Structure 1
Amino acid sequence: MMFKEYAAQLDDKHDKYERIVKHSRDITIESKRIIFLLHNSNTDIESKRESILEEADTRLKAVIDINLRAVAEELRDEDSYQFLRAYTNGLQEFIEALTFYQFIKNDSIDNWEKINNLLKYQDEYGSEFTLVFPQYEYILGIADFTGELMRRCINTLGVGNIEDCFKLCNFVRHINTGVLGLMSHGSKELSRKAYVLRQSLEKMELVCYNIQIRGTEIPKHMLLNVIESSHVKDDVDEGFY
């Protein structure tokens, strides 16, 4: 009888884990769609840009109020760290989408504390519960966010907006400096993302280099072709990969 009870508890835990994985998958899919939507905001038409930002804001709030809340409800009265791997991918993708939206709108991103406050909920009886959101997951999401800034930098050059290329590059350079300061042995996932971050930064620096050095001799609409024909060294790391 005792082992039957243990088996029932394990089955309940596995079922809960699978439900959380499904919620995380929904969060990941919707976050990717929001990121794709935000890339379309790179336009000179102000009304279109505002419309895209409003839609992205509405959809991000829906992810917080529906999808992430569902995960938080599943983890009430549970040790959330036992289930963290079930929703870490969705959480990182959400942070990537949220910070990308914040940067496009405000030229800045919220810190961990402000985003953590978004993940606090109340039930119909007024009881509070929170989705566990470790700072490590925030850092991993920020590392992914820099990849979207690299794509936006390339797209910005394509439409002739040179000034934003330098702004985006400097922002990613500051993030890279911060991530390198967090490197330590054992943080395998952070090391991998830091390596990808460095590659993204090299591509952005190549863009800025070509703008600065060759921008006076090559028409703006041809700069993108020159950059795409150049090669960034992918085999150079910082000794931590």
Structure 2
Amino acid sequence: MKKHDRYERIVKLSRDITIEAKRIIFLLHNTNTDIESKKKTIVEEADSRLKALIETNFMSIAKELKNQDAYQYHRAYTSGLQEFIEALTFCQFVKNDNIDIWSNINNLFKYKDEDLGEYGLLFPQYDFILGLADFTGELMRRCINTLGIGNTNECFKLCNFVRYINAGFLGLMAPGNKELSRKAYVLRQSLTKMELVCYNIQIRGTEIPKHMLLSVIEATDVNAEEDEGFF
């Protein structure tokens, strides 16, 4: 019964993480503005809320797993962890045009307590990879929104970054892993949409006003059926 109760407590903590992470992602999409002061304020708020999750919910999960076989409880919080990684990497990219590596993010989940001593959260690289795949979806949305305000240079930058991540996923061939295959396929769909945006900017940008390019692209049928052999 103790194991079941612990599992349910972790599920609840993970659910709260997921909800807050989604709110942070929504907040970060408001940084798509030319007003630097507004962008800075939003990033600072997102940063603060991400740190709060690390110091509260994730710390509570780590305490629950202290002296336990963490892998038995991994399924209880993996969805919240992936959503958090999506929000964290999105925030890092908005702030620095880059994201941190797994080992540095893993260090964020190391804790020290006078009573418990040193302890940490189990953060598999697998969760980082899946969260990274979801993060590319946010970059695709940002690319579309950026085109809507006429910032075409940003579209190319975002597309190139997602193309770089996709190249990494091509080396993660895992025939039996449905979740990884599914997310890699969705990643490819996002990249296809972004490439279509960049194609239209490059080919039709001189003949169509920037503010009208988005309506042209939205009316175009995106064929993303061709994948890279994940299925």
Which TM-score bucket, shorter chain as reference? over 0.9
Contact 2:188 2:224 in 1 (8 A): no
Q: Which residue of 2 aligns with 1:80?
A: 70
Structure 2: any 5+ residue segments left out of the alignment? none
Offset at 1:28? 0.3
The reply to whether residue 113 of structure 1 matches residue 103 of structure 2 is: yes
Q: AA paired with 2:200?
A: N
The reply to whether residue 27 of structure 1 matches residue 17 of structure 2 is: yes
Normalising by structure 1, we get a TM-score of 0.94
Distance across 1 between alignment mates of 2:82 and 2:103: 16
The reply to whether residue 199 of structure 1 matches residue 189 of structure 2 is: yes
The reply to whether residue 229 of structure 1 matches residue 200 of structure 2 is: no
Superposed counterparts of 1:37-56, under 5 Å: 37-56=27-46
1:174 to 144, 161, 164: 164
Contact 2:174 2:180 in 1 (8 A): no
Q: Which residue of 2 aligns with 1:60?
A: 50
SS of 1:94's partner is helix
Structure 1: any 5+ residue segments left out of the alignment? 1-10
Q: Which residue of 1 aligns with 2:155?
A: 165
Bigger Rg over Cα: 1
The reply to whether residue 139 of structure 1 matches residue 129 of structure 2 is: yes
Normalising by structure 2, we get a TM-score of 0.98
Contact 2:18 2:83 in 1 (8 A): yes
Q: AA paired with 1:113?
A: S
Offset at 1:184? 1.8
Q: Which residue of 2 aligns with 1:125?
A: 115
- Structure 1 moving runs of 4+ over 3 Å: none
Alignment RMSD (CA, Å): 0.9
Contact 2:106 2:123 in 1 (8 A): yes
